[in-house]
Amino acid sequence: MTELDDRIRSAYGPASTDDDVRERIWAAAVAPAKRVRSRSKWRAPRTLFAVAVAMVSVGSIAVAQPGPIDNMIGGKNHADRLSVLKETDPVGADGLSDMAQSMFNLRHSQAVEGGFSSVDPAQLHKVLDYDAGRYSFTMLSGASADGQACLYTETRDDRRKKSRFAGGGCSLSFEYNGHVTVMTQRDIQLGTLVTGLADDDVKRIRVKLSTGTATEALMGNNGYLLHLKDPEVRTRGLLVDLKDGRTLDIGMNGCLRSQLASHPKSRLGCGFGMNKGPADEVR
Partner 1 sequence: MTSTQQHPVALETDAHLLGRASAGDEAAFRVVYDRHVDVIRGYARGRVGPDAADDIVSESFAVAWRSCSRFDPTAMTARPWLYGIATKVMARYRESEQRWIQQQAHGSHDHPVTTDEPTAYELDPALCHAIGMLSPALRDTLLLTALGELSVAETGRALGITATTARVRLLRARRLVRQALKETQP
Query: What residues line the site for partner 1 (CB under 8 A)?
Result: 1-2, 4-5, 7-17, 21-22, 24-26, 28-30, 32-34, 36-37, 43, 46-51, 53-60, 106, 109-110, 187, 262-268, 271-273
Are the C-beta atoms of 166 and 100 separated by less than 8 Å? yes
**Shortest gap between Cβ of 163 and partner 1 (angstroms)?**
14
Minimum distance between the CB of residue 87 and partner 1, rounded to whole angstroms? 32
Q: Phi/psi at 236 (nearest 5 deg)?
A: -120, -20
Q: Which residues pair with 214 in a beta bridge?
A: 208
Nearest residue (CB) to partner 1, 265 versus 283:
265
CB of 63 to partner 1, least distance (A): 10
| Closest approach of partner 1 to the CB of residue 11, in Å | 4
Residue nearer to partner 1 on the CB measure, 216 or 232: 232
- Name the residue nearer to partner 1 (CB basis): 7 or 41: 7
Within 10 Å of residue 255's Cβ, how many Cβ atoms?
A: 25
Residue 164 beta carbon to partner 1: minimum distance, rounded to whole angstroms: 11
Using a 10 angstrom Cβ sphere, with 0-12 exposed, 13-18 middle and 19 or more buried, the burial of residue 54 is buried
Beta carbon nearer to partner 1, 202 or 270: 270
Radius of gyration of the chain (CA): 20
Q: How far is the CB of 29 from partner 1 (least distance, A)?
A: 4
**Nearer Cβ to partner 1, position 155 or 222?**
155
CA 149 to chain centre: 13
How many whole angstroms separate alpha carbon 28 and alpha carbon 229? 46
Smallest gap, in angstroms, from Cβ of residue 249 to partner 1? 26
| Cβ proximity of 249 and 237 under 8 Å | yes
Q: Judged by CB, which is closer to partner 1: 51, or 194?
A: 51
Distance of closest approach, residue 124 Cβ to partner 1, in angstroms: 20
Which of 248/268 has CB closer to partner 1?
A: 268
Written as one string, the DSSP assignment of 134-188 is SEEEEEEEEE-TTS-EEEEEEEEETTTTEEEEEEEEEE--HHHHSSB--EEEEET
Q: Give one DSSP letter per residue of 230-264, joined into a string.
A: -TT--EEEEEEEETTS-EEEEE-HHHHHHHHHH-T
Distance in angstroms (rounded) separating the CA atoms of residues 64 and 156: 23
Q: Are 111 and 51 in contact (CB under 8 A)?
A: yes
Give the nearer residue to partner 1 in terms of CB position, either 192 or 221: 192
